[in-house]
Amino acid sequence: MYAYKENNRWVYPVGLRSRFKGVGGFHTLTDAQRAQHGWYPLNIVNGEYDEQTQNRFFVSEEFENDVLVVTYRVEKKDIETQKIEAKEALKKLRQQKQLEPMDIFGFTEVFSPETIALFTGKALKASLDSTITCQWKTPSGFVTLTAEQIMAIAKEVDNKIQALFDKESELSALMDSAENPFEILKLWE
């Protein structure tokens, strides 16, 4: 890996390029030749770490003998921080699953929170008036839904969403007692 200065700041890590700022064949130059163009080898101390269980803190940048040495300090995250972050990742996973398309009555729909709110209103109207119909726009065009269909779709969507929340709740409880809460994410399948 390499580094170069731009606007008095180091830019790193950068892989070799065949062309840089009008100089071709950059990857064929020696380190001494690259240094003439402001590119230097990069040595990162403690650069690798596990984002789930560790924090990395910048310590220093030192330029010595035409090599940029960047040093980090790596510390273990406390278990409570890991649990908070794992539960946030679990929430995002649930939200992604919630937005997966559903096939209902021959059309496919993504039930976003906004779509669910619209459909909940339709379901309320359908529960009060069994003769109501509505036009619902699908990717292939409009479809006419009866009150019975509206109620059936609302039930299916509610079942899907509730199952996702139930699973999140179950896995969240397991995270509370886990030594590595991020391992619990693998149980979502």
Looking at the structure of the chain, the number of domains it has is: 2
Please tell me whether residues 99 and 59 are part of one structural domain: no
pLDDT attached to residue 23: 73
Cβ neighbors of 81 (< 8 A, separation 6 or more) are none
Same domain, yes or no, for 89 and 159?
yes
Decide which of 76, 100, 121 is a domain's last residue: 76
Question: Which pLDDT band holds residue 27 (cuts at 50, 70, 90)?
Answer: confident
**Does residue 53 surpass a pLDDT of 80?**
yes
Give the Cα separation of 21 and 18 in Å (integer): 10
Task: Note whether 163 and 170 are within 8 A (CB).
Answer: no
Regarding whether 163 and 103 lie in a shared domain, the answer is: yes
Average pLDDT over the chain, rounded to whole?
A: 92
Residue ending a domain, choose from 39, 55, 76: 76
Q: Indicate whether 22 pLDDT > 80.
A: no
- For 31-36, which contacts have Cβ atoms below 8 Å and span 24 or more sequence positions? 31/66, 32/66, 34/2, 35/66
Distance of alpha carbon 112 from alpha carbon 114, whole angstroms: 5
Q: What is the pLDDT of residue 126?
A: 96
pLDDT at 180: 92
Residue 55 has pLDDT above 90, yes or no: yes
Say if residue 68 is in the same domain as residue 161. no
Counting residues of the chain whose pLDDT is more than 90, the rounded percentage is: 73
pLDDT (0 to 100) of residue 105:
78
The CA distance from 100 to 81, in Å, is: 29
Q: For residue range 60-98, list pLDDT tens digits in order.
A: 999 999 999 999 999 999 999 999 999 999 999 999 999
Q: Which pLDDT score is estimated for 25?
A: 80
pLDDT at 91: 97
